[in-house]
Structure 1
Amino acid sequence: MAAMRNELVFRLSRRRSSVPRARALLHALLGDWGVGEEAADTAELVLSELVTNALCVRAPKDRQVGVRIVRAEADGLLRLEVSDAGTGTPEIRSPAADETGGRGLLLVETLSHRWGVRRREGGIGKTVWAEVKAPGLAPRPGAGTEVAAVAVRAGRQVRVRGAWRTVRDVRAEPCASGGLVVTFALDTGPALCLSAAEPLTVRDGADAASPTD
């Protein structure tokens, strides 16, 4: 399993116990992201249906099911992607009242903001994705966004030890061990030195009047 601040990617074995495992991983992640109970319940139900459908398709038993969960703060959306090695394209069914199955995608369409299917890039099978509205993901005014240190420019503000500091100058230099080291001259306090890929929370200087906590 590989995790990032705004993304979680993991694989599941082709067994029924993978459905509750996927839900548990999503539940823990959404708790860390501060997603409300109603949106979390919806997302967990949608993911359960997507994983269940992926486990039901015809595919070699050694082929795992891939799951990718992404939060898009700017849009207030959670994106849930489930990939399998099966052929064909899933379609929404209208099962009879006495049928016990066949309602998975109907439920996904009802609960999701939007959903779709795409062929897997560089592999066999497909990816079924769904986006669920999660208003709590939207960033607060002045909260900033996270970018790599090398992408920060002079004039922006960076979050350093719980306070906002304005970047006066930026200098990138090769590191003896390889890569780049970025040095920031700030309006107050000592200079800040980080590796080029290290994340920083930044905002425009115009947001200085916004709440900082």
Structure 2
Amino acid sequence: MADPSSTREVTFRLARHRRSVPRVRALLLAVLHGWEAGQEVAETAELVLSELVTNALRVRAPQDRQVGVRIAHSADEGLLRLEVSDAGAGTPEVRAPGADETGGRGLLLVDALTLRWGVTGRAAGIGKTIWAELKATDLAPARTGTEVAAVTVRAGQCVQAWDAWRTVRSVRGERYASGGPVVVLELDEGPALRLHAAEPVNVRDNGEDGPR
């Protein structure tokens, strides 16, 4: 079993909109760039995650239900794990579409490009999580910090976002359409982070030397 301390991850949520597919590609590539992933791993992961998110956006689910994404790397196992969660029912299956069909090949591509993949029920709430794993043994070592709940982060601290340290310029609270509490961290660089209030995030005080 892998040591949990050897695993790093990034999680975020996407609106149920077609613009979320190019957005998730950009976010994934930013994460993998910070983790110093090679071109082959990055390109394969981009294809796989694009297909998983596209499938999640196509399932029948309330429009206000977001799509959850988790990108994780286990140094012990040398695996990059991509997870996409949606509120739709049913279990996706690999299809063999006819030559004249323009769609239906997403999971065929995922099956061909990954070490393994599968579907699990969500631990809390309705829907499912589709996961896929790729071999990724040469990513840079994780940088660490103090893990705290997002709701406790203060302006002026540094948070680890896209595997780089960013200074928090401001913090504000919002609520998801479903009613859950959200913390929005405006950073000195890059897009704001929108996190569930209890979601863990790595922080350090500004000016403190981060691990190399």
What whole-Å deviation, never above 9, does each CA across 1:107-149 have from its counterpart, x for those lacking one?
001001110000001110000000111121275xxxx996979
Higher relative contact order (CA 8 A, sep 6+): 2
Contact 2:13/2:68 (8 A) holds in 1: yes
Identity %: 65
Distance 1:90 1:33, change over 3 A: same
Is the contact made by 1:75 and 1:138 (CA closer than 8 Å) also made in structure 2? no
Q: Secondary structure at the match of 1:96?
A: coil
Return 5+ residue gaps in structure 1 as ranges: 150-196, 200-212
Shift of 1:26: 0.4
Selected match of 1:26 from 25, 28, 35: 28
Task: State whether residues 109 and 115 of structure 1, in contact with CA within 8 Å, keep that contact through their aligned partners in structure 2.
Answer: yes
Give distance in 1, aligned partners of 2:124 and 2:81: 21
1:118 is matched with which residue: 113, 117, 120?
Answer: 120
Please provide the CA RMSD for this pair.
Answer: 2.4
Structure 1 CA distance for aligned equivalents of residues 133 and 18 of structure 2: 24
Distance 1:95 1:198 in 2: 48
Count of aligned residue pairs for this structure pair: 145
Q: Which runs of 5+ in 2 are unaligned?
A: 1-6, 148-201, 205-211
Calculate the TM-score normalised by the size of structure 2.
0.63
Structure label with greater radius of gyration: 1
Shift of 1:198: 7.9
TM-score (norm 1): 0.63
Tell me if structure 1 keeps the 8 A contact 2:37–2:140: no
- Residue 87 of structure 1 is aligned with which of 69, 89, 92? 89
Structure 2: distance between partners of 1:21 and 1:77: 23
Match of 1:14 among 13, 16, 25: 16
